[in-house]
Structure 1
């Protein structure tokens, strides 16, 4: 980059992402364009990410990769880099990291990656992926020029695993708190999801893939504890994944089937958050989850396990309630506290919204990434 020429960054991501990484990258790219950064997205799967990016009018191109181990895409990406003159390559996720590792041998610009989660846990849900793609991703990460973790805790994990201290920063995820969001009424959403609606009930929601690391077992066990004292609690689980059958069996074992609703993949998270009274997160490991930021935008009182960077957003008794990871009894106690006090719910929801808007904006996130790009581009 010379003179006042705009910085040009190529982002690589699989394109099949549906969780926090999807939201983070789309939000980041949208706001980087306001920071004198030209961004192009490359995807390898025509999935939800690709469709949403295209609908947003972002500069995105699809280079289909028949399988994760088909590396014929590397030369195609090199041609794009050479032709369009990018200053940096920014990688997201295991598939993109592996491609970036091979691409580094062919281009002479820095390659950086965002660490969205603990990469050692990303494939815990599938045996063959865990034994093939986890080590491949761990290897690919060692070849990156720079790392951006989404929480201080993830940065510490990288340091503990021997990654170079001078090549790691952390930037918390950010959300556009100012833009309008669309959602349907609670009654309409419940009808669509086949959930019986009772205005006397308090609805608790958890949104995320049904993966062991998300701690849905803790969610259900805490629900069972809380229902012993607050019978009008109801629980909505949004998301799909391999844990569905195990969780449904656990509901039967706990005898709480009448109070728990599994609704599968959630297309519009704001429909979901508008429908609940209390937002919950029970994970064993996190970076900085968007499920809490999106709930904050909707002013939802929140109970979360104290993992990853969660404690930077959820301040005990100020912007929410925290419990030690895995402690379903403490989670249940917090449910009772909020279910029995409308005043407490409103207070924590409002304070969470105000704190999130002030400290975790999308603009601030993009500014920090831009500063890192300028620092790294001449490596």
Structure 2
């Protein structure tokens, strides 16, 4: 079976990790999977580093519809059985040519399609409608949570027989491969996420402020449109000594930071199945999340992590306080339980096997 994965190429973060991890596992298993990005960027660069067979279409802009003919030719000349798109732009391009290609078309829905273009005015509304229309046209949809699957079926009116829930996975490391933790004075919390409103970092700042505990230090690793407003909020709350904004960090840089982290926190209003929490778990860091998506699948009980109410500063503060009040020994035991559970259920190998089962039914 010959499969082509297609992405715009400008992803950074969870979407990039999902695509590159999946294709890396396919390469390890000697599967005939290729990657095509519409433009040069982080996805193609990361894929090449992993030795993935990668091509770039060379679209001159986000709206370069003239490249559709080249895209059609690339797919048909490559004799692909499956074309698998990731992201609204790739979905749109395939929706415009899907009747001209010989391959079966699949889409992975990584996020809430009704929120992808939120806050972008009329243009955002147009792109949302185009993406929903593309989702309805595809032969197969992979949703990374039950929540997204239900949204696609009940709100977007995608044929339910086309929708399959397959959770994200990562490559887990043996405990001996995880760098030893540094001795450190403070209780260090990390938030790894784009600094956008949907990620709720303003709630996290307010929750830490509410606790009024100078023993807590907060590290925010991410870049985005809300970075400067968040820094302004930090100054307004008089929290400068407690908060460090690191900007975007590579995996290598994060692994260094993780050596002195006691808790990984996501305070998002909406998420898919956050890889950053799985990566924290792999590094034996306890995790805390707002009750988004299918997070209960990742944190099945309070023995495995902490869950707070979405959009609720008091609830987030209470969950952080519960973590701070646990002994280092208990936190370590929680992190080890979560890692063992996540390894069993959310590996990239499991993810690829589940996707291939669906491919087989289509081909």
Compute the TM-score of the two structures, normalised by the length of structure 2. 0.93
Contact 1:24 1:173 in 2 (8 A): yes
- Give the equivalent residue in structure 1 for 2:162: 167
Relative distance call for 1:14 and 1:181 in structure 2 (3 A) is: farther
- Post-superposition CA distance 1:234-284 (Å, at most 9, x none): 000010101112212221222212211111001123233334211001011
- Give the equivalent residue in structure 2 for 1:64: 58
- Give the equivalent residue in structure 2 for 1:112: 106
Structure 1, gaps ≥5 residues long: 1-6, 188-197
Question: What's the secondary structure of 1:9's corresponding residue?
Answer: strand
Relative distance call for 1:273 and 1:335 in structure 2 (3 A) is: same
Contact 2:27 2:52 in 1 (8 A): no
Relative distance call for 1:130 and 1:183 in structure 2 (3 A) is: farther
Compute the TM-score of the two structures, normalised by the length of structure 1. 0.90
- Post-superposition CA distance 1:76-96 (Å, at most 9, x none): 122222222110110000110
- Post-superposition CA distance 1:303-344 (Å, at most 9, x none): 110111211011232110101101111211121221232233
How many Å separate the matches in 2 of 1:126 and 1:274? 38
Question: What's the secondary structure of 2:349's corresponding residue?
Answer: helix
- Aligned counterpart in structure 2 of residue 154 of structure 1, from 140, 148, 154: 148
- Post-superposition CA distance 1:33-68 (Å, at most 9, x none): 455631110012221111110011001001111112
Structure 2, gaps ≥5 residues long: none
Compute the displacement of 1:214 (Å).
0.7
Compute the displacement of 1:350 (Å).
1.0
How many Å separate the matches in 1 of 2:29 and 2:50? 18
Compute the displacement of 1:184 (Å).
7.9
Residue 354 (structure 1) aligned with residue 340 (structure 2): yes
Relative distance call for 1:376 and 1:179 in structure 2 (3 A) is: farther
Compute the displacement of 1:132 (Å).
3.7
Aligned length: 359
- Give the equivalent residue in structure 2 for 1:258: 241
- Give the equivalent residue in structure 1 for 2:330: 344
